[in-house]
Amino acid sequence: MFSLKNSLIFTEKVQAKEQLIRLAQYSSFLMQAILKHTSYTQATKKFQKLSGNLSIVRKVLRFGMPLIVLSSISSELRHKKVKICKVASNFLSLVFYLSDHLLYFYRVRLITLEKQSKFMQVADVVRSLAWVSFLIAKITDYTMDIHKVQKKVQKIQNSESNSYRNTDANEKFNRLLEQNDFLVLGITARTFELPVALYFLDPGKIHPILVGVLGCMSAMVQIYKILNKRKK
């Protein structure tokens, strides 16, 4: 039976696969960047083609994500205390997915426009800007959440009755520490990803080898984060 909970579980599985493919994509991107100015022309072309194909696979895996994001926005807006950064990051994520879908449809010729269509050029810029802005909003949101978690941890530690030594309080204390670690991983992954997003916004500013390295590191942190969440 369809439910939001089941759809979220399904989405998490898709995201795990997407991160594995992302790791392979940026590994190929890195090898292409390393071999670009060498005599290994054929190998460079193969890695370039592989990176491009894996990028398309990731775009397909992202189908349906706008529905999940819309659900998250709706849920957040129903709260008494609306978190602006969370809503902003979700909205920017929605813009990214929709523009990314649009560019995919154009790439596979489901949308037929002139090769140098200004509309598609604008869509590409909007996608990159939404990606960069989403990452900044997400890092800000994670940072604010860490601050709240740290305040709760400090409150328990400073309790005059040492209640954190009790079983219930100790469990709460450990959950807060786990939540803090989860948020730190989120910030780490998004920080690694930010230069990658900036590269696609303006390729001339960042070296492709650095993009490949940071893309791989971001994917590995995200994979570790998902696996760590599954264990709990």
Could you say which DSSP state residue 40 is in?
A: -
**Using CB atoms within 10 A of its CB, is residue 189 exposed (0-12), middle (13-18) or buried (19+)?**
buried
What are the residues whose beta carbons fall under 8 Å from the beta carbon of 111, sequence distance 6 or more? Answer: 102, 105
pLDDT tens for the 232 residues of the chain, in order: 445 555 555 666 777 888 999 999 999 999 999 998 888 999 999 999 999 999 999 999 888 888 888 888 888 888 777 788 888 999 999 999 999 999 888 887 777 766 667 888 888 899 999 999 999 999 999 999 999 998 888 887 777 455 545 666 677 878 888 889 999 999 999 999 999 999 998 888 899 999 999 999 999 999 998 887 755 5
At residue 44, the pLDDT reads 93
Q: Which domain holds residue 76?
A: 4-231
pTM of the model: 0.84
pLDDT at 169: 66
**Number of domains the chain contains:** 1
Q: At what angle do helices 167-201 and 208-231 cross, to 10 degrees?
A: 160
Q: Is 40 left (phi over 0), alpha (psi -120 to 50) or beta?
A: beta
Tokens for 68? 């999940």
